[in-house]
Structure 1
Amino acid sequence: AGATLLGFALAWSDSWEYWTRTIRHTDRIGEASLNTDQNIAGALARIGLGEHARFVLWVLGCFLVLALTVWAMRRVLRAGEPTLALICVALFGLVVSPVSWSHHWVWVLPAILVTAVVGWRRRNVALAFVSAAGIALMYRTPIDLLPKHHESTANWWHQLFGMSYVWWALAVIAAAGLTVVAGETARAEGRRAEREPALISDVNVAP
């Protein structure tokens, strides 16, 4: 609110134009079917569905992803990995948002780092894989397989690859929920505790 008031103070006419006229014209930022709109809504728009059917499927998809995220987040939190839980929530927001342009996906970098660190620490192959896949996704993005401004004309496999950001985010959430469990930490600590007495006894008997 303070920043908005400051904008009015510094640029009254521009602020008035934006808040009374421009803000209502959401089509100025581009169509939802553009390949850079990486979310459920964008994927549905690109396959040529009508507005009503698209809305119903989008709402249904959002609830399904919400259920997946809540389940994964609870398991990850019980396993003592709050940062990974935060990553799951951030990716959920990008997937279900009505508009998530490719430059909105700034959470990809921390997601890659967190999954790599947790994967290394827990010797978790699934997290290591999605971390590497995230790097590959940013280096060579498959969304370019969709012809710009003609995305709805692409064939089915281009459509699947064209929503690669969404698939990757879902893979991260699913991998976190399926493979990061609380028992792993306890077992690792137990193995470490078992090794420590042996090391101490070796030191004591050493001449």
Structure 2
Amino acid sequence: MTISPVRAASEGRLSTTRITRRPVLLLAAAAALFLAFCVWNWPPNALQYDLRVYVVAARAFLHGEDIYTAHHAFPDDMALGFTYPPFAALVFAPIALLGTGAGRVVMSLVSASCLLIIGLVTVRAIRPSWPWQRTAAVGLAVGMAGIALEPVRSSFDLGQINLILLALLLVDLLGHLPYRFRGVLVGVATGIKLTPGIFIIYLLVTRRFREAAVASAATVGTMVAGAVAMPDGSRQFWGHYIFDPSRPGATHFISNQAWRGVFARLAGGIDGIAPMWLLTVALTCTIGFLAARRAYESGYRLESIILAALTGVLVSPISWTGHWVWAVPICILLWFRVVEAAGHRRRVLAGLATLWMVTTAFGLPWHSPYLGDREYTHRGFDLFLGNSYAVCAVVSLLLAAYAFRRRVRR
């Protein structure tokens, strides 16, 4: 039987369509299963303490009440108040309208989706020449594997927004927005939680002045929106609460892996640590941003972003372990670089990658004495365990500063 050219061409197109659709369907199915797993593991009746704090503030806004004192109407387990700018309460208003159970499901789904996005954009940044099927498959796989890291699990456990902010920042800083909108998501993230504002400085340091201006304008826009919606709340936050680092919780608590937490544990409290802390913050910013700029100028954009992020979590007054979700792109990047490297460089990178993996997978700070001020009793190996996230960041910054001590050709 002869086959007409038209029929042959038609069958060829159908075959190509099937081949193209199959990986898409498989990847979509894998992503859907992962989302379902996250909802199953963090169900609607999960506590998610921090999400409760967000929802209480958002409900207070919807009812015309003070978002910063609304927690006083609840028992002692809601003792911590809302610590974010008023704009964040606007963002969480839809979650508050959904109700507790539905809000938890939405938060888990959004966080899980953002974890997959983090994996995708990270792999894309490391391997821009890969075909999209390979990038998608590897990106989804490493994104799913991120659930093995304690900062990610902690963000799900508490209903935190860390993964959402990380996804916004990576999408923007890695250039996945149209050129004229680059910087907008950095500004929105800063308007929600302030600490992403470190990346406005990063944009200035890397001479991306237009993006820095857009990010600054977007941040101001969130401040204006918050002031219009909650004028009294805005005055309270920008005039008082922003200067109270103790409001989020005890500085010395083991979960705080920022420099201020490290010094508070070593000194037995926060009294008298200000001079040493400020000096260390200045030194960290100098080393971190210098390394970030040289990495960027050498063509290592993802490395430069991560160096700025590590600088940010170290110098922030509070960086709970859940804030260290940057461990996901860090581990992905390091293991990719291990595969590329050879000789002494490969051994150093493998050691650093292993340090990050072990530290964040096991959540080493939680294996040291804590609660009841036992953080002040750390001696010997407990000093490493109790400050291990900060140790990983410092080692990474110093190695990067040495590697990028001068502008290198990629």
Give me the TM-score of the superposition, normalised by structure 1: 0.71
Residue 102 (structure 1) shift: 0.8
Distance 2:262 2:288 in 1: 19
Decide whether the 8 Å contact of 2:263 with 2:270 is kept in 1.
no
- Matched residue pairs, number? 186
Paired residue for 2:354, among 101, 126, 132?
132
Residue 40 (structure 1) shift: 0.7
Distance 1:165 1:100 in 2: 10
Residue deviations 1:42-97, cap 9 Å, x none?
A: 01111235645211111111122123213422442343212111111100100111
Residue deviations 1:114-156, cap 9 Å, x none?
A: 2222332233332232122211112212212132232343232
More moved, 166-175 vs 75-84 = 75-84
Decide whether the 8 Å contact of 2:298 with 2:407 is kept in 1.
yes
**1:90 equivalenced with 2:312 (yes/no):** no
Distance 1:147 1:60 in 2: 27
Decide whether the 8 Å contact of 2:258 with 2:314 is kept in 1.
yes
| Match in the other structure for 2:391 | 167
**Alignment gaps of 5+ in structure 2:** 1-219
The one-letter code sitting in structure 1 at the alignment partner of 2:396 is V
| Match in the other structure for 1:53 | 272
Cα distance, 1:32–1:6 mapped onto 2, change above 3 Å: same
Cα distance, 1:41–1:27 mapped onto 2, change above 3 Å: closer
Residue 170 (structure 1) shift: 1.2
SS in 1 for 2:295: helix
SS in 2 for 1:53: coil
**1:101 equivalenced with 2:326 (yes/no):** no
Residue 21 (structure 1) shift: 8.6
The one-letter code sitting in structure 1 at the alignment partner of 2:386 is G
The one-letter code sitting in structure 1 at the alignment partner of 2:353 is S
Residue 185 (structure 1) shift: 5.3
Q: What is the aligned-residue identity percentage?
A: 22
Distance 1:26 1:90 in 2: 20
The one-letter code sitting in structure 2 at the alignment partner of 1:130 is L
The one-letter code sitting in structure 1 at the alignment partner of 2:287 is L
**1:151 equivalenced with 2:374 (yes/no):** yes
Decide whether the 8 Å contact of 2:256 with 2:321 is kept in 1.
yes
**Alignment gaps of 5+ in structure 1:** 187-207
Decide whether the 8 Å contact of 1:48 with 1:152 is kept in 2.
no
**1:66 equivalenced with 2:273 (yes/no):** no
SS in 1 for 2:252: coil
> CA RMSD, aligned part only?
3.3
Cα distance, 1:160–1:16 mapped onto 2, change above 3 Å: same
> Which runs of structure 2 are paired with 1:13-52 in the superposition (5 Å)?
27-49=246-268, 51-52=270-271
